[in-house]
Chain A
Amino acid sequence: MKTRADRRTPEDTADKAGHSRRSERPRGETFVWMTAMGLTVGLTMIVFLLGLVVTNGVGVFWPRRVALVEFREDRDTRFQGGTKALGVITIEQDRDVRDLTIEQSESPHAADRREKQLFLGNRDAFGQAFSFFPAGDIQSVTYPDDVIRAERLEWGDALFFPVRLEMEDGTAVEADDPIFHSHLHRLVEDAAARRAQIHRIERYEIGRINLQMHQLEQEERYFARQDSLTDQQRSEREAVAGRMDELRAEYQPLADRAAELRSKQQRDILVYRLVTGEERSILVGQIVHHYYPNRLGVAGRAQIFAGQLWRFLSGYPREANTEGGIFPAIFGTFVMTLLMSVAVMPFGVMAAIYLREYARQGLFVRAVRIAINNLAGVPSIVFGIFGLGFFVYFVGGGIDRMFFDRALPAPTFGTGGILWASLTLALMTVPVVIVATEEALAAVPRGVREGSLACGASKWQTIRYLVLPAAAPGIMTGLVLAMARGAGEVAPLMLVGVVALAPNLPLDGLFPFIHLERKFMHLGFHIYDLGFQSPDSEAAKPMVFATTLVLILLVVALNLIATLVRNHLRKKYTADKF
Chain B
Amino acid sequence: MTKQPPAKAIPERFIVRPATLWFDRFMNYFITVGGLSIIIAVSLIFVFILLQVLPLFRGAQVEPQDSFSVPQDDYVVMGTDEWAELPFFVNRRGELTFLDTVDPGGPHHRTAFTRAPAWLDETDVGVVVYNPLLSQLVYGTADGRFAILDVQYEATFPERGGREVSVELQETPLLSIGSTEVPVQHLAYGSSGTQAIVVVIQQVNERFEMHAVSLVQQRTLLGDGQWSVSQSYDLSEHLDAAPRHLLVPSDADAVLIGMDDGRVLFLHFDGQEFRKRQMFVPFRDRADRAIASMNFLLGDVSLVFTASCGANRIFSLYRDPQREVRVWGHTKTFPDLERGASFYSAAMRNKAFLIGDGRAASLRYGTTESIRWQDELPFSVSLAAIGPRYDRMLFLDDGHTLHSYRLDDPHPQASWRTFFGRIQYEGQAAPEFAWQSTGGRDDFERKLSLIPLIIGTLKGTFYAMIFALPIALLAAIYTSQFLRPGIKRFVKPVMEIMASLPSVVLGFLAALWLAPIISNAVPSVLLAVIAIVVAALVVGYLWGLLPQRIRVRLKPGYEFLAFVPVLLLVGYAGWQLGFVVERTFFIVPGESTGMQIADFRLWFPQATGLSFEQRNAFVVGFVMGFAVIPIIFTITEDALSNVPEAFRSGSLALGASRWQTAIRIVLPTASAGIFSAIMIGLGRAVGETMIVVMATGNTPVTEFNPFTGMRTLSANIAVELPEAPYLGTLYRTLFLGALVLFLMTFLVNTIAEILRQRLREKYRAVE
Contact = CB atoms under 8 A, between A and B. Distances in A.
B738 interface: yes
Contact of A556 (B479, B497, B655, B735): B497
Interface string B647-686: 0000000011111100100000000000000001001101
A38 B750 contact: no
Interface stretch (A123-131, A214-222, A281-289, A350-358): A350-358
Given A30-B541, A39-B560, A377-B683, A24 B512 contact: no
B21 A458 contact: yes
Nearest to A385: B738
Interface in B523-581: 532-533, 535-537, 539-541, 543-544, 548, 559-564, 567
Contacts of A430: 38, 42
Contact of B659 (A29, A458, A485): A29
Given A28-B663, A384-B717, A38 B689 contact: no
Contact of A31 (B503, B507, B535, B659): B659
Contacts of A381: 687, 689, 714, 717-718, 738, 741
A382 B504 contact: no
A531 B694 contact: yes
A359 B33 CA distance: 11
A29 B482 CA distance: 11
B472 A372 contact: no
Contacts of B750: 370-371, 374
A46 B35 CA distance: 39
B754 interface: yes
Contacts of A370: 750, 753-754, 757
A40 B564 contact: yes
Nearest to B681: A377
A33 B539 contact: yes
A36 B563 contact: yes
A488 interface: yes
Contacts of A537: 512
A224 B305 CA distance: 56
A353 B500 CA distance: 27
Chain B interface residue count: which class?
Answer: 35 or more
A563 B479 CA distance: 18
A53 interface: yes
A204 interface: no
Contacts of A436: none
Interface stretch (A132-140, A242-250, A544-552): A544-552
Contact of A98 (B590, B633, B686, B687): B590
A373 B24 contact: no
Contact of B470 (A27, A38, A40, A388): A38
Contact of A45 (B21, B481, B503, B626): B626
B659 A27 contact: yes
Interface residues of A, number: 101
A351 B38 contact: yes
B746 interface: yes
B204 interface: no
A565 interface: no
A393 interface: yes
Contact of B532 (A41, A357, A377, A527): A41
Interface stretch (B383-391, B393-401, B594-602): B594-602
B686 A379 contact: yes
B84 interface: no
Interface in B15-62: 16, 20-21, 23-24, 27-28, 31-32, 34-36, 38-39, 42-43, 45, 48-49, 52
Interface stretch (B358-366, B434-442, B488-496): B488-496
Contacts of A347: 38
B504 A490 contact: yes
Contacts of A489: 502
Given A30-B544, A378-B746, A531-B512, A368 B567 contact: no
A389 interface: yes
A265 interface: no
Contacts of B482: 32, 35-36
A39 B474 contact: yes
Contact of B35 (A350, A525, A563): A350
A32 B564 contact: no
B483 to A, nearest CB: 7
Given A34-B537, A548-B508, A382 B49 contact: yes
A26 interface: yes
A456 interface: yes
Contacts of A368: 39
Contacts of B112: none
A464 to B, nearest CB: 8
A380 B687 contact: yes
A372 B746 CA distance: 10
Given A458-B21, A490-B502, A555-B502, A38 B564 contact: no
B35 A386 contact: no
A537 B694 CA distance: 13
Contacts of B495: 42-43, 46
Contacts of A527: 504-505, 508
Contacts of B48: 386, 389-390
B285 to A, nearest CB: 46
A555 B496 CA distance: 12
Given A29-B659, A32-B658, A385-B721, A491 B49 contact: no
B193 interface: no
B726 interface: yes
Given A46-B497, A524-B502, A379 B741 contact: yes
A41 B568 CA distance: 10
B568 to A, nearest CB: 8
Interface in B221-253: none
A383 B52 CA distance: 14
28 contacts: A18-B655, A28-B660, A38-B478, A40-B563, A42-B629, A96-B520, A98-B597, A350-B34, A351-B34, A354-B35, A359-B35, A366-B757, A371-B43, A372-B42, A381-B718, A381-B741, A385-B717, A458-B16, A459-B27, A461-B24, A463-B27, A488-B502, A491-B503, A524-B504, A528-B508, A548-B508, A548-B509, A559-B500
Ranked nearest first, the 5 interchain pairs of A and B with the lowest CB-CB distance are A354-B35, A379-B687, A38-B474, A28-B659, A33-B540
Given A15-B655, A488-B503, A524-B690, 8 more contacts: A33-B537, A37-B563, A42-B498, A354-B32, A375-B42, A379-B745, A381-B714, A524-B505
